[in-house]
Amino acid sequence: MRNLETDLIHKGEQYNETRAITPPIYQTATYIAGETIDEQLADATSTKSPFFYHRHGNPTNSQLGEILAKLEKTEDALLLATGMAAISTAVLTCVVAGDHVIAQHAHYAAAQVFFKEFLPAYGIEVTHVDQTDIANFEAAVQKNTKLIYVETPSNPNLEITDLEAVAQLARNNKIFTIVDNTFASPINQTPRDFGIDAVVHSATKYLGGHSDLTAGAICGSKEFIHQAWRKSLLLGASLSPMDSWLLLRGLKTLTLRIKQINENALELATWLEGQQGIKKVTYAGLPSHSQHALAKKQMHGFTGMLTIELSGDSEQIGYSNAQTVLKQLEIFANAVSLGGVESLVTHPASLWNSVQQREAGVKPLFPLGLLRISVGIEHIDDLKADLKQALLSLI
Ligand SMILES: *Cc1c(COP(=O)(O)O)cnc(C)c1O
């Protein structure tokens, strides 16, 4: 078996039937049928068929499937148009009306709406638990629980879920488990190692790595991917040939990028803890993170995701400080998304408090002075200098 770095460059090359080193972009909706009607029927019905019709599959998507399966240590993987397509397709492969799902109290915002509003509207019951304590998952198990869905580290609070404990609990109760591994990336965390059944990704983020595509992936057993593929034929969110090609290219440098991002983020987080104007730094790699020991147990590196809470005697001052810092920053762009080579910063309270606060009177989840940072691969000295000048403008 070859090593990961080699497989990221070469795995699945057999799907490139040309002599080009870089595979072509298969910009086609359909493919000429095989010699016989039987061959065509086989193409029509085989899982992820690369040469039938684009919604069924595409050669680049098949190649990516091999690479993603290798990354997540699963038998197979299915590529889709977005991370949300991967999440919704994977979940709807597991549950039907009358079933029950355990999810976390904090998820990526659109996933949260999917669990809070979409599933219940189709007769699927969802219990949301504080994921920092396994006892909460245990207490939520019902007779009809079919799925435990977790995300670790979670967006944007960077809370950690104990993967081994969740997998154990699920196994004991014959419940399927899915992890959103987007924030960690498979370089830093492979949930299969702890007995988790399937993994989903927004490949828009670290896997693509250049903020130039949207894509999603489901990684799991051959049987689960077959079932998810059948659902995907109906839900229809196939990954476009161009985005597929860009993702294949982005993945070649995944290990290099993640290594640099891990290093930059750890150094930046450590440095930020000592800076004036900052009340709190949250980063899974810092000993000050309340779940640092668990993060160390299940992660090899701590990713580029961190948050800073700016000082301020009141929420309002925190808010105006956040606005000032966002305006002053020159390298860090104020943009949603994450996981690219470039550093980005967002203000969770403006983006997500409204989504999370649908039920009136609920306390805002995110302080007004909180900023989420996705650290890129720029030179660390330039990143520090940029944050330093922005923080100095507060004083
Ligand atoms: C971005 C993101 C998603 C959704 O991915 P899209 O590609 O935008 O659909 C899901 N989960 C997490 C953790 C994310 O960061």
**Per-residue model confidence as pLDDT tens digits over 321-356:** 999 999 999 999 999 999 999 999 999 998 887 655
Active site residue 108: yes
Token pair 């920092």 is at which residue?
A: 132
Domain-ending residue, one of 232, 251, 270? 251
pTM higher than 0.75? yes
Task: Kindly state whether residues 174 and 39 are assigned to the same domain.
Answer: yes
Q: How far is the CA of 319 from the centre of ligand 1 (A)?
A: 26
Which domain covers residue 207, as residue numbers?
Answer: 4-251
Would residue 205 show up in a list of annotated catalytic residues for this protein?
Answer: yes
pLDDT at 352: 80
Residues 300 and 220 in one domain: no
231 and 260 together in one domain: no
* Helix segments in 95-191, DSSP class H: 109-113, 119-121, 134-140, 163-172
Domain count, the chain: 2
Same domain membership, residue 244 and residue 300? no
Q: Alpha-carbon dihedral of residues 267, 343, 183, 140, nearest 10 degrees?
A: 100
Same domain, 228 and 100: yes
Instruction: Collect the ranges in the chain with pLDDT lower than 50.
Output: 358
Task: Give the pLDDT of residue 359.
Answer: 53
Q: How far is the CA of 259 from the centre of ligand 1 (A)?
A: 21
User: What is residue 364's predicted lDDT score, i.e. its pLDDT?
Assistant: 74
- Among 80, 200, 205, the mutation site with the greatest number of ligand 1 atoms within 8 A of its Cβ is 205
Sign for the pseudo-dihedral over CA of 164, 166, 168, 170: negative
In this structure, what CATH number is given to the domain that contains residue 354? 3.90.1150.10
Q: Are residues 262 and 334 in the same domain?
A: yes
Mark whether 330 and 228 lie in a shared domain: no
Q: Report the alpha-carbon distance of residue 63 to residue 239 in Å, rounded.
A: 13
Q: What are the CB-based long-range contacts (under 8 Å, 24+) for 219-222?
A: 219/68, 219/69, 219/71, 219/72, 219/74, 219/76, 219/77, 220/74, 220/75, 220/76, 220/77, 220/90, 221/74, 221/75, 221/76, 221/197, 222/75, 222/76
Establish whether 193 is a catalytic residue.
no
Q: Specify whether 129 is located in the same domain as 173.
A: yes
Ligand 1, atom 6: closest residue by C-alpha: 83
What is the C-alpha to C-alpha distance for residues 1 and 73, in angstroms, rounded to an integer? Answer: 13
User: Of 251, 285, 305, which residue is a domain's last?
Assistant: 251
- CATH code of the domain covering residue 47: 3.40.640.10
Cα of 143 from ligand 1 centre, angstroms: 30
Relative orientation angle of helices 59-72 and 241-251, to the nearest 10 degrees? 40
Distance CA 171, CA 167 (A): 6
> How close is the Cα of 84 to the center of ligand 1, in Å?
6
The count of other CB atoms within 10 Å of the CB of residue 320 is 15
Residues 329, 385, single domain; the answer is yes
| pLDDT (tens digit per residue) in 288-305 | 999 999 999 999 999 999
* DSSP state letter for 95: -
Which residues contact ligand 1 via a Cβ below 6 A?
82-84, 108, 110-111, 151, 155, 180, 182-183, 202, 204-205, 214, 216
**Where does a domain end: 206, 224, 251?**
251
Please check whether residues 184 and 229 belong to one and the same domain. Answer: yes
Q: Are residues 219 and 356 in the same domain?
A: no
Query: Given 26, 108, 206, 283, which residue is catalytic?
Result: 108
Residue 395's pLDDT is what?
Answer: 74
pLDDT for 315 equals 84
* Phi, psi torsion values for 14, nearest 5 degrees: -65, -20
> Are 237 and 261 in the same domain?
no
